[in-house]
Structure 1
């Protein structure tokens, strides 16, 4: 098993863009999801703050992560998407020895699985 890259980005979106933010980032999202090394690229909207979006993305290894940040669609998005942000997006990035999601062992499942 190699080391995958996981990235979480918190976006504080300007109110005037909040309701159509996913549409505004759709082209970028689709391009990232189509990358060979992308494991997932998923947006969520906060239930507490309608102007906050969280992006959770993962890449199969460092090489895939590097290909992502060096891609033309990434460079284009970094030039254009700042206009939608109320503040500079915050990021957490890790390289971890996994190749996908692990089961949450602590939860009790009715069927024991």
Structure 2
């Protein structure tokens, strides 16, 4: 399983363009057969910083993702809206990337 976490600082003047582009990209990535999940969230403590969390079945699914038309179009688009080079955390994990949190149980 591949777990990818990105941090991207978006230029304030490109915020609306970013939100439109990332929303469409999310739909496309979530429709890929090897995708488990794709989500993005804004850091409310740091304006216009977004975190993207992607999970793919395996390395082959990750490779297939990067080769899709929507990924090939999104990467150049992203370079026009960020104010600095995004940070990435890429993890190739054996087994399931999601486990239950031991410290919290619903009551």
- TM-score norm. by structure 2 comes to 0.90
Q: How does 1:70-109 map to 2 (within 5 A)?
A: 70-105=67-102, 107-109=103-105
| Whole-angstrom CA distance in 1 between matches of 2:65 and 2:81 | 21
Where 2:101 maps in the other structure, the secondary structure is coil
Contact 2:30–2:38 at 8 Å: present in 1 too? yes
Larger gyration radius, structure 1 or structure 2: 1
Which of residues 18, 38, 49 in structure 2 aligns to 1:52?
49
Q: Tell me the alpha carbon deviations over residues 66-100 of structure 1, each in whole angstroms, 9 at most, x when there is no partner.
A: 10011111111112221110001110101001234
Question: How many residues matched?
Answer: 107
- TM-score norm. by structure 1 comes to 0.86
Q: Mean alpha-carbon deviation: is it higher for 48-57 or for 93-102?
A: 93-102
Query: How large is the RMSD of aligned CA atoms in angstroms?
Result: 1.5
- Deviation of 1:21 (Å): 2.6
- Deviation of 1:20 (Å): 5.3
Q: Does 1:65 align with 2:59?
A: no
Q: Mean alpha-carbon deviation: is it higher for 72-81 or for 82-91?
A: 72-81
